[in-house]
A and B are shown apart, each in its own frame.
Chain A
Amino acid sequence: MGLKIERNPAPVWFRPLIPLLAIALTFAITSTLVLLVKANPLQAYYYFLAEPLSSRVSIIEVLVKSTPLLLTGAAVTFAFVGGFWNIGAEGQLLAGATAATAIGLQMDGVSPLIALPLMIAGGFAAGMAWVLIPALMRVKLAIDEVVTTLLLNSVALLGVSALLNGPWRDPISQWPQSPEIAASAMFPKLIPRSRLHLGFVLAIVIIVVMWFVLSRTAFGLRMRAVGMSPDAARFAGIKVERTLLISALASGGIAGLAGVSEVAGIHFHLIDAISGGNGYTGIIVATLGGLNPWGAGLAALFIGVIDTGSQSVSRALGVPVYLGDVILATLLLVTLAMLLLQRYRVSWSRE
């Protein structure tokens, strides 16, 4: 008698069930935490999953929460598919937000038709610039980008903090936050009197474009080849270094757009909590989404639901808001484990 593990891929019909199983398992695991604060897990998960989708207002809030995640998730997906392990979406987001603020502060009296494209282009360029050094170090010197992109996140945060405590400190309130950007630089609302803004449309456009590039263009196929086996790609005449550089820069630029979207759509000034960890959550989004643009879109929306739900569950049941973060982290681990385990089968053998 013994436990036997064999390499044996799960049948095809089983694969779509994996995310659902992962979610069920995650809730089973985290329900113990809910029980610890003496709340009813089923009720808690109702607030987490169903409550956010029960009213028009909260659905809009879910979309608002998802907007930066759609962008950072897309950014990380693009980089990972191309074989560039960009852990720096957080820093690139901050760079994009900083550039957007700098531009937005100068846009008084300029038409939005000029101001908005400038904001978007500026934020994209800043995100690209922030990933340029790690990308060049990887391509030219073979220095691991996981470390360099990660470290630059702290540099970006400290940089923002320096700006906010120095030249950009709000002259009136003396808070460490920038002055408000010009009205013409603010993203228009999609629905009046809500927080849903142009950034959401921007994110959807990015996801669609990314899907097209990855699955319908020669560049996308080359990029995937580089990501999957660089040696074979090089052998096939693909310019591996150039392709890597492009996927890294595009990824940084998209993450920069997340910063633009938060400044121009939600906050209207720069604060050092502008990201709220959206850059890191983008890694979860990309992984849960199976490095597929549509998958990333769904994962971002799902996390938007959980995020919104964690507010209502804490209001209704007194469960700490942080439970939402615990659920997301657990979900990531469970999903990764299941993606690995689906390649094996465990069986009891009697010998």
Chain B
Amino acid sequence: MTPPSIAVEMRGITKRFGSLVANDQVDFTLGRGQIHALLGENGAGKTTLMRILYGLYSADEGDIAVDGQPASIRAPRDAIALGIGMVTQHFALVPPLSVTENVVLGHNLGVRLKLEDAHRRVAEAAARYGVEVEPRALVRDLSVGERQRVEILKALYRDARVLILDEPTAVLAPQEVDQLFEGLRRLRADGLSVVFISHKLREVMNITDHVTVLRGGQVAGVVQTSATTPAEMARMMVGRTTFGMPSLDEASAARSAAQPVLRLESVGALDNKGLAALKGVTFDVYEGEIMGLAGVSGNGQSELAQVLQGTRACTAGRIIVVDQDVSGADPERIMKAGVGRIPEDRHASVVPEMTVAQNMALEHLGEFTSNGSLDRHKIRQHAEKLIAEYQIKAKPDDRIRTLSGGNMQKVILARVMERNPRVIIVSQPTRGLDIGATEYVRSRLLEQRRRGAAILLISEDLDEILELSDRVAVIYEGQIQGILPRTEADPERLGLLMAGAETSQETPHGPQDRA
């Protein structure tokens, strides 16, 4: 008999996709009332393993026991019946419906939906689990952090005793992460077992009790969190001892004669609902500088990026690149002014059904046309050159949709950086990428900074901002709450600005103001 302190036990799980072995004889044991990290790089097999537990995939080999009983999980409804809930990175919510409707959807409700009762029950459940959400709010109006809470609530409402969270912090700001962790600790105290999929060591150290590290589909180690160190986990994860991030070159940061290349003056914009998303955003970015833009998700970062990319109208103020006014310009004019754009949503910036070569040429087809027809040889050569230069694992004729996230991002980087832009607008550049690709993207950004590009780095990953930025601007409810030089930008200070609790006294000026 398995002792009842074990909530889930997976033994010898193997899953193949064609020739790829995603899970190779993986053992995984989740203790009751424990938070157990599943740590590994992207592609290590973490998500696959949990999709098997949740019934989204079926394992080719291996057994699963839940509460000591052998379990046959063929579909999510089997997993739900066994008290297993999963919150994936891509939320399965219906945006036009309310929180309550989303929570009770798929739940057995009888024929008639008594919405008032449901609202009340959902509100009660939310209070019981300490999940703050407004039952009547429409999901489409919620921020990413709030949507995640709805997903968790959905699982808890169905009496989940095992909760699988797939990279839950990827989209959250520090305060939201703290809130999530606080909630998870409370749930753990109530006896809930949590699988916490992550590749962020700090968070794993912070919140979990045990860690199972996966590498290349195999278990690289199982340790007690209190008995390990980040360095040890990193070694298990990547199979090498150090993977230091490139550090900033202080000498170039001290450059004093720098020129502002990107100037924003009281920029305003509306969000998709027609409400003010940006209110008088003002700051400058200097050449050879990375300006980080930190903020809790949904405070206007996406809208600002879109305005600067030319995909959202600018309703007030001015945007000046070098000496050109590009307020309200379309993408074509913005690119001509010397702006390179690496957007948040990779899939909406490349045409997935087109080839790598076509996507690399798409923004500047005029340069690949001779006598009215496309020079296909030139398009191919251009792609081959960029593929070699940026170490992209793809062939020119591969369709973009077949590329991994890291390679797709490299295609976008290559397309932008080969033109040596004066200004680079980059949003969430490493979201969803593994450590290797993340490191690569960051080093390329630093290289552009050395070259003299003015870079606006919009990221919800505070570590990323702190590692790369010369200055950090914080946005809160569509306004710049403050701009701090890197030396003063510690997480606590930033956290307060991001929460709107403090306003920096500094005026949004250039590097000359730095201490």
The listed residue with most B CB atoms (<10 A of its CB), out of A220, A229, A233, A239, is: A229
Closest to B306 in A: A235
Are A237 and B358 also in contact (CB < 8 A) when A218-B366, A232-B351 are? no
Going nearest first, the 7 A-B pairs with the smallest beta carbon separation are: A237-B332, A218-B365, A237-B331, A231-B348, A216-B373, A236-B362, A236-B363
Interface residues of B in 319-353 (CB under 8 A from A): 330-332, 335, 341, 343, 347-353
Does B368 sit within 8 A of A, measured CB to CB?
yes
Does A217 sit within 8 A of B, measured CB to CB?
yes
The listed residue with most A CB atoms (<10 A of its CB), out of B349, B351, B353, B363, is: B351
> How many whole Å from B314's CB to the nearest CB in chain A?
16
Contact with B along A219-252 (1 / 0, CB 8 A): 0111011001101111111110000000000000
Chain A residues with Cβ below 8 Å from B347 are: 232
- In the complex, 20 of the A-B residue pairs with CB atoms within 8 angstroms, ordered by the A residue number, are A212-B373, A216-B373, A216-B374, A217-B369, A217-B372, A218-B366, A218-B369, A221-B365, A224-B354, A225-B354, A228-B352, A229-B351, A232-B350, A233-B351, A234-B311, A235-B311, A235-B331, A235-B343, A236-B351, A351-B72
Q: How far is the CA of A232 from the CA of B352 in the complex (A)?
A: 9
Chain B residues with Cβ below 8 Å from A232 are: 347-352
Chain B residues with Cβ below 8 Å from A235 are: 309, 311, 331, 341, 343, 348-349
> Does the CB pair A229–B330 fall under 8 Å?
no
Does B58 sit within 8 A of A, measured CB to CB?
yes
Contact with A along B8-31 (1 / 0, CB 8 A): 000000000000000000000000
> Does the CB pair B331–A236 fall under 8 Å?
yes
> Given A216, A217, A228, which contacts B351 in the complex, CB threshold below 8 Å?
A228
> Does the CB pair A221–B362 fall under 8 Å?
yes
Query: How many residues of chain A are within 8 Å of chain B by beta carbon?
Result: 23
> How many whole Å from A18's CB to the nearest CB in chain B?
18
Closest to B330 in A: A237
Chain A residues with Cβ below 8 Å from B363 are: 236-237
Chain A residues with Cβ below 8 Å from B353 are: 228-229
Closest to B341 in A: A235
Q: How far is the CA of A295 from the CA of B131 in the complex (A)?
A: 56
Chain B residues with Cβ below 8 Å from A2 are: 74
Closest to A4 in B: B58
Chain B residues with Cβ below 8 Å from A239 are: 330, 332
> Does the CB pair A225–B332 fall under 8 Å?
no
Chain B residues with Cβ below 8 Å from A225 are: 351, 354, 362
Chain B residues with Cβ below 8 Å from A231 are: 348
Chain B residues with Cβ below 8 Å from A349 are: 58
Chain B residues with Cβ below 8 Å from A228 are: 351-354
Are A218 and B368 also in contact (CB < 8 A) when A233-B351, A235-B349 are? yes
Chain A residues with Cβ below 8 Å from B330 are: 237, 239
Query: How many residues of chain B are within 8 Å of chain A by beta carbon?
Result: 31
Closest to B346 in A: A232
> How many whole Å from A243's CB to the nearest CB in chain B?
12
Chain A residues with Cβ below 8 Å from B309 are: 235
Q: How far is the CA of A119 from the CA of B200 in the complex (A)?
A: 70
> How many whole Å from A292's CB to the nearest CB in chain B?
14
> How many whole Å from A153's CB to the nearest CB in chain B?
30
Q: How far is the CA of A235 from the CA of B332 in the complex (A)?
A: 9
Chain A residues with Cβ below 8 Å from B374 are: 216-218, 220-221
> How many whole Å from B419's CB to the nearest CB in chain A?
12
Chain B residues with Cβ below 8 Å from A216 are: 373-374, 376
Chain B residues with Cβ below 8 Å from A234 are: 311, 331
> Does the CB pair B335–A237 fall under 8 Å?
yes
Chain A residues with Cβ below 8 Å from B311 are: 234-235
Chain A residues with Cβ below 8 Å from B366 are: 218
Closest to A349 in B: B58
> Does the CB pair A221–B358 fall under 8 Å?
yes
Q: How far is the CA of A235 from the CA of B310 in the complex (A)?
A: 8
Chain A residues with Cβ below 8 Å from B332 are: 237, 239
> How many whole Å from B265's CB to the nearest CB in chain A?
24
Q: How far is the CA of A217 from the CA of B58 in the complex (A)?
A: 46
Closest to A224 in B: B354
> How many whole Å from A241's CB to the nearest CB in chain B?
11
Q: How far is the CA of A224 from the CA of B362 in the complex (A)?
A: 11
> Does the CB pair A229–B352 fall under 8 Å?
yes
> How many whole Å from B498's CB to the nearest CB in chain A?
28
> How many whole Å from A242's CB to the nearest CB in chain B?
11
Q: How far is the CA of A235 from the CA of B306 in the complex (A)?
A: 9
Interface residues of B in 353-391 (CB under 8 A from A): 353-354, 358, 362-363, 365-366, 368-369, 372-374, 376
> How many whole Å from B336's CB to the nearest CB in chain A?
9
Closest to B349 in A: A235
Q: How far is the CA of A216 from the CA of B58 in the complex (A)?
A: 45
Q: How far is the CA of A228 from the CA of B310 in the complex (A)?
A: 20
Q: How far is the CA of A238 from the CA of B330 in the complex (A)?
A: 9
Q: How far is the CA of A239 from the CA of B311 in the complex (A)?
A: 11
Chain A residues with Cβ below 8 Å from B372 are: 217
> How many whole Å from B75's CB to the nearest CB in chain A?
11
> How many whole Å from A130's CB to the nearest CB in chain B?
29
Q: How far is the CA of A233 from the CA of B331 in the complex (A)?
A: 10
Closest to A218 in B: B365
Chain B residues with Cβ below 8 Å from A229 are: 348, 351-353
Q: How far is the CA of A239 from the CA of B363 in the complex (A)?
A: 11
Interface residues of B in 208-267 (CB under 8 A from A): none
The listed residue with most B CB atoms (<10 A of its CB), out of A228, A231, A236, A239, is: A236
> How many whole Å from A343's CB to the nearest CB in chain B?
13
Are A217 and B354 also in contact (CB < 8 A) when A234-B331, A235-B311, A237-B363 are? no
> Does the CB pair A217–B350 fall under 8 Å?
no
The listed residue with most B CB atoms (<10 A of its CB), out of A221, A222, A224, A237, is: A237
Chain B residues with Cβ below 8 Å from A224 are: 351, 354
Chain A residues with Cβ below 8 Å from B362 are: 221-222, 225, 233, 236, 238
Chain B residues with Cβ below 8 Å from A236 are: 331, 349, 351, 362-363
Are A217 and B348 also in contact (CB < 8 A) when A228-B353, A236-B362 are? no
Closest to B72 in A: A351
Q: How far is the CA of A239 from the CA of B329 in the complex (A)?
A: 12
The listed residue with most A CB atoms (<10 A of its CB), out of B343, B349, B358, B376, is: B349
> How many whole Å from A333's CB to the nearest CB in chain B?
24
Closest to A238 in B: B362
Q: How far is the CA of A221 from the CA of B367 in the complex (A)?
A: 14
> How many whole Å from A347's CB to the nearest CB in chain B?
12
